[in-house]
Chains A and B, each alone.
Chain A
Amino acid sequence: MFIGHFTERPYQDPNSGYFGATGRSLMDLGMSNASYDPRLGADLYNRYLDERVFAEEMGFDGLMLNEHHSTPFCMGQVMNLEAAILARITNRAKIVLLGNILPIWDDPLFLAEELAEIDMISRGRLVTGWVRGTGRESVAHNAVPPYNWERFQEAHDFIVEAWTKPGPFRWEGEHYHYRYVNPWSRPYQEPHPPIWIPGVMSRNTVAWAAKHRYPYLMLATELQPTLESFQYYDEVAAEAGYEAGTEHRGYLFKVHVDETEELAEEAGRKYVQGPSNPFLEGNQGIVRPFIQNLPGLTQRNNLLPTMRSFAAAASRGRASQHLKDEKKAAPPPPPKDTYVDQTEKLSIISGTPDSVIPKVRHVLETLRPGTIFFWDGDGAMSHDDQMRSLRLMGSDVIPAVREMADELDLKGPFEVDPAGEGEASAAADDAPESPDDPAAQAAD
């Protein structure tokens, strides 16, 4: 069992007034950085790094980072920088990037070089993960959305080749062109750092990951659909001629432990009280659907009949649900108690070790993942909240989960090679044309 720690590193500005479920709701991509305070930013970046160092001390196997752009809910804009710092100031834990947003890189050779440096400085502790990114990311770095999936695939192929094929070589692709690929840095790990694919729901991404034998990590999805996605992975794996195991299954879920049930509830409620985060259920603020799902992020290449008349179409009076949805883009009314609702369905697990451990066991028994990440210290949680939790994770939860994992035979990807002892996937070449739900699957 591989046990990791994650937080989005929210920009917690107590003076902002923009807090999801407890204050003025925040329109996604609707907040000027004029209010950004770099001194507060300095404190927060350092706090989050300190917490990671402590998480390693408490026995976590992995420190997961992610990346978003132009939004206060995640301060990881350049997570490779944070990863490089962690590479130097930690000693044992894997540094898990979930993930780099490949399509927004115009020069993926830089990415190959950066990741190789991180892998070397950490002496082989880098785990890479790659995503397509949401509309937010395409807007922020102005990557053409209709070419998002093409660029994802080509950048993936290119980086793997830049890591593994002796240079110099030439690359003349559709989106990337190099006359001299010969990076003077190569990954510490052979043949290259592990690649894990995080996602939310897209069947096609699951299939793509399965065909490449890459572990697939579901990001804070509900248990039943998560299980179904894992089962679909297993089916694709079987078609590709191998049997998927727990080493291919990863799951990120919200777990906070505290000294008393009262403190646990107080801190747990803060999951939904930070800067509006569309990935923290109950804390969404307002998401603009037309930015979240930009033109061509989902392929729409069907042909239309030539339109006969504007007026005739309008007179038929069929309402468009899509535009109706846009019209009522006001924040949905919050459920009666989103925190209680989420604890009941185990979307949030918060309590003392005694109450948390059986719930974690239920998750492990249900999903049988070989990799888990506890999503903690997020939303409006303070440094103290996070440190109390990390301490109890170290003393009580992690040891108990390891025992559980042994008992349930949940092996992680560092115990069983997901690539199947080097027989890398030949089936990967016929990966699906395009994920049908990239905006959703590409969350983190």
Chain B
Amino acid sequence: MAEDSAYREGELVLATGTIKYLEQGGGTPVVVLHHSWGSPGWLPFHDRLAENHRVVVPDMPGWGGSERPAWARDPRDIAIIMTRVVAGLDLEDVTLVGLGFGGYVAAEFATMNPSRLASLVLVGAAGLQPGEGDILDQMMLSHRKYIEDSFRDAETYAGYVGEEPAEDVRLLWDLSREMTARVTWKPYMFNRRLEPLLGDMQVPTLIVWGSEDKVVPIECARQFEAAIPNARVEVVDGAGHVVELEEPDALAELVSSVSGA
């Protein structure tokens, strides 16, 4: 943790349940939506962004410290709540960054409520059925194996997680996996009703993929690019699915290229 990290913890009370978030910095807002395995906390990636932006990192409803909407059955339900989080925090001209499953939620968000968005950044985003191959099914893997496969290699994984994940990390993964199962057990990690809605979505979109992503096939980057009118693709060489952990500076720079900082 960098010494100058001075994020604060926030809480937003919604009718659908209380949302917890971390926040730091000033300027136009960047909202970062976490992977299916939950937010691992304040990251060097967030620090880089916070140099020029107000960075908000929520626990999505049902993940981490945010209350579970027991009725939610679809990532679209999560996206609807996230539109209310952005409205509730009165954020305008938002750059919405979605990581993996968070990218799926971000894309759904953008199709239904683009008015508060200045730009959209989808990083290794789920949400579309890959034209070739499948999205890696975490439900058939141990937590450890799935998270390890999210990194470019086992060594990088061990560098972040350690020899054994700590108990609170394991709990986070376990709880997150249940919430993930509740909303996207089947079909797993995509929605055939998303792609048709992306065609009229005018928010400038940056699609970022790690060249070594083993979780969501890189084919999906091209599919998002084809579906969204104002989109371009950037591939980060050597990164796996967790680009924000492996290449935080490169990713922050890419986000800055669309966030206007």
Interface residues of A (CB under 8 A from B): 139, 142, 144-147, 288-291, 294-296, 300-320, 322-324, 326-327
Contacts and interface: CB of A to CB of B under 8 A. Distances in A.
Given A144-B186, A316-B166, A310 B160 contact: yes
B89 interface: no
B65 A306 contact: yes
A326 B171 CA distance: 15
Contact of A300 (B9, B164, B175): B175
Task: Give the top 10 A-B pairs by smallest Cβ distance, nearest first.
Answer: A314-B162, A310-B40, A306-B65, A295-B178, A320-B170, A319-B164, A313-B166, A307-B41, A295-B177, A144-B185
B139 interface: yes
B213 interface: no
B246 interface: no
Nearest to A294: B139
Contacts of A327: 144
13 contacts: A289-B142, A296-B182, A301-B68, A303-B67, A306-B22, A306-B59, A309-B41, A310-B43, A313-B168, A320-B170, A323-B164, A323-B165, A326-B144
B168 A307 contact: yes
Interface residues of B, number: 44
A305 B181 contact: no
Contacts, number: 120
Nearest to B188: A142
A278 B213 CA distance: 36
Nearest to B170: A320
Contacts of B102: none
B39 interface: yes
A337 B168 CA distance: 40
A365 B59 CA distance: 56
Interface string B114-144: 0000000000000000000000000111111
Contact of B166 (A147, A291, A301, A317): A317
Interface in B146-170: 160-170
A317 B160 CA distance: 12
B interface SS class: mixed
A293 to B, nearest CB: 10
Given A301-B68, A304-B171, A323 B186 contact: no
A241 B162 CA distance: 55
Contact of B181 (A146, A306, A310): A146
B168 A304 contact: yes
A295 B180 contact: yes
A300 B161 CA distance: 23
A442 B65 CA distance: 31
A290 B143 contact: yes
B41 A310 contact: yes
B240 interface: no
Counting chain B CB atoms within 10 Å of each CB, the highest count among A146, A308, A314, A324 belongs to A314
B149 to A, nearest CB: 14
Given A290-B143, A295-B177, A300-B175, A320 B39 contact: no
B15 interface: no
B35 to A, nearest CB: 12
Contact of B182 (A144, A307, A308, A317): A144
Contacts of A309: 1, 40-42
B100 interface: no
A309 B160 CA distance: 11
Given A290-B141, A300-B175, A310-B40, 16 more contacts: A144-B182, A290-B142, A290-B143, A294-B139, A304-B168, A306-B65, A307-B41, A307-B172, A312-B1, A312-B41, A313-B166, A313-B168, A315-B162, A322-B170, A324-B164, A326-B143
